[in-house]
Amino acid sequence: MPKAIRIHKAGGPEVLQWEDVTVGDPGPGEARVRNHAVGLNYTDVYHRIGLYPLASPSGLGLEAAGVVEAVGSGVINVKPGDRVAYANPPIGAYCELRTMPSDRLVNLPDEISFERAAAMMLQGMTVRYLVKRTYKVQPGDTVVWHAAAGGVGLIACQWLAVLGVTVIGTVGSDEKAKLAAAHGCHYVVNYNRENFLDRVKEITKGAGVPVVYDSVGKDTFERSIECLRPFGMMVSFGNASGLVPPIDFGKMLKGSLFLTRPSLMPYTAKREDLVATAKDLFDIVLSGKVKIEINQRYPLREAAQAHRDLEARKTTGSTILLP
């Protein structure tokens, strides 16, 4: 019988249970996929702790890569034997075998391994929508990117360099600073030793930046707003340090600033947007201009330890779970 990580209540990593599951035949419009590698993302933590509530019991995880074993009636975009990847609901990627809506699957190029796909789908497509749609960066822009040595951050530093954008990245250690710099981050600020707001003002000669990309949340939000130039955009796309406190919109007035809280799912809700986003990601990775760093691998059954390490900020780059 196939296995999966399941949760029966919100809580710490200890609520992750390795259980037998029943996986039936795919229904109309569905495909049954055997996962070969599963991605670990901070969104999984938000689901586990109940910040984004789930029904109970529930699976966990949004991202994986594997092989189609069977398809239901009406499926035209994939067939048995196809290599596929996904990074979207329904939640439940922490498993060996599952059924999925076939229109949420994208075909995986032969040159991209299952492990690399699972490490990059959600994070890479996130970078793509952030820099090309939420705020469309321009050559010559200077931007602030928090958590520059994380999975999303390392992809962003490289992709932005390709687009001719200067990156001011923040990190929490000297080791992470070296990693971010090695992946194209032009100015790296260790926020445990430096005030990143002061450094941004120094680097931009007081002008500020047009956009701040912030997945950290509580610890960085207020000062990030101060980094913006007039008409700048605050892009808050995560809460790794905790929820952002209630916002004083008066602080946005002085520069006619913009604030947005985007997520990947609306940007890929349409099949054509999902395919285009994935193609952009595959193309830039296959070009060699963006490299995917898989710095941690865990057996899927040890997902609880992976969550502990992620929350303790012990991880860098991408992390995958292996069924």
Average pLDDT estimate for 210-239: 93
Q: What's the pLDDT at 82?
A: 99
CATH 3.40.50.720 segments of the chain: 139-261
Distance of alpha carbon 80 from its chain centroid, rounded? 28
Average pLDDT estimate for 39-46: 94
pLDDT band for position 239 (50/70/90)? confident
CATH 3.90.180.10 segments of the chain: 3-121+265-322
In tens, the pLDDT along 162-187 reads: 999 999 999 999 999 999 999 999 99
pLDDT band for position 316 (50/70/90)? confident
Tell whether pTM > 0.85: yes
Count of C-beta atoms within a 10 Å radius of residue 193? 10
Sign of CA pseudo-dihedral 90, 235, 191, 292? positive
**Which residues touch 191 (CB under 8 Å, ≥6 apart)?**
170, 171, 172, 219, 220
8 A C-beta contact, residue 213 and residue 234: no
Q: What's the pLDDT at 108?
A: 98
| 70, pLDDT greater than 90 | yes
In tens, the pLDDT along 251-287 reads: 777 899 999 999 999 999 999 999 999 999 999 999 9
CATH number belonging to the domain at 139-261, selected among 3.40.50.300, 3.20.20.450, 1.10.620.20, 3.40.50.720: 3.40.50.720
| CB hemisphere CA count around 273 (13 angstroms) | 14
Which amino acid is it at 39?
A: G
| 321, pLDDT greater than 90 | yes
Average pLDDT estimate for 134-146: 98
pLDDT band for position 81 (50/70/90)? very high
pLDDT greater at residue 229 or residue 245? 229
| 301, pLDDT greater than 90 | yes
| 34, pLDDT greater than 90 | yes
Average pLDDT estimate for 33-46: 96
CA dist 208 → 201, 226, 228 (Å): 6, 8, 5
CA dist 266 → 54, 96, 274 (Å): 19, 27, 10
Q: What's the pLDDT at 217?
A: 84
| CB hemisphere CA count around 138 (13 angstroms) | 3
Q: What's the pLDDT at 250?
A: 78
Q: What's the pLDDT at 247?
A: 79
In tens, the pLDDT along 188-220 reads: 999 999 999 999 999 999 999 999 999 998 888
- Secondary structure class of 251 (helix, strand, coil): helix
CATH superfamily ID and name for 3-121+265-322: Medium-chain alcohol dehydrogenases, catalytic domain (3.90.180.10)
Q: What's the pLDDT at 275?
A: 98
